[in-house]
Amino acid sequence: MTVLITGATGLIGKEIVKQCHEKGFNVHYLTTSKSKLSNESNYKGFYWNPKTKDIDHKCLEGVDAIINLVGASISKRWTKSYKREILESRTLTAQLLRDTIKNHNYQIDYVVSASAIGIYPSCSTHYYEENNTEVSKSFLGEVVQQWEEAIDGFKQLGCKVAKIRIGLVLANEGGALPEIIRPIKIGVGAAFGDGKQWQSWVHLKDLAGIFIHAIEHHLEGVYNGGAPNAVSNQELTKIAASVLKKPLILPNVPKFAMKLVLGEMHMLLFESQRVSSQKIESTGYNFLYANLRPALEDLLLEPIGDKHSSPISQP
Query: Is the CB of residue 119 less than 8 Å from the CB of residue 224?
Result: no
Which residues make beta-bridge pairs with 203?
Answer: 170
Query: Is the CB of residue 38 less than 8 Å from the CB of residue 61?
Result: no
Phi, psi of 162, deg, nearest 5: -130, 150
Query: Is the CB of residue 162 less than 8 Å from the CB of residue 221?
Result: yes
Residue 306 lies in a domain: no
Residue 150 lies in a domain: yes
> So what's the pLDDT on residue 314?
33
Residue 315 lies in a domain: no
Residue 261 lies in a domain: yes
> So what's the pLDDT on residue 310?
32
Residue 309 lies in a domain: no
Phi, psi of 130, deg, nearest 5: -70, -20
DSSP secondary structure of 166-195: E-EEE-SSSSSHHHHHHHHHTT----BTTS
**Dihedral, 6, 153, 123, 200 alpha carbons, nearest 10:** -30
Name, in order, each residue with C-beta under 8 angstroms of 143's C-beta and a sequence gap of 6 or more.
86, 87, 90, 116, 118
Q: What's the domain range around 57?
A: 2-300
> So what's the pLDDT on residue 175?
84
Total tally of structural domains belonging to the chain:
1
The tens-digit pLDDT sequence of the chain (315 residues) is: 999 999 999 999 999 999 999 999 999 999 999 988 999 999 999 999 999 999 999 999 999 999 999 999 888 889 999 999 999 999 999 999 999 999 999 999 999 999 999 999 999 999 999 999 999 999 999 999 999 999 999 999 999 999 999 999 999 988 889 888 989 999 989 999 999 999 999 999 999 999 999 999 999 999 999 999 999 999 999 999 999 999 998 888 888 887 887 788 777 888 999 999 999 999 999 999 999 999 999 999 976 444 333 333 333
> So what's the pLDDT on residue 304?
47
- The pTM (predicted TM-score) of the whole model is 0.92
133: CATH: 3.40.50.720
> So what's the pLDDT on residue 281?
98
Residue 307 lies in a domain: no
The beta strands (E) that lie in 2-105 are given as 2-6, 26-31, 39-40, 43-49, 54-55, 65-68
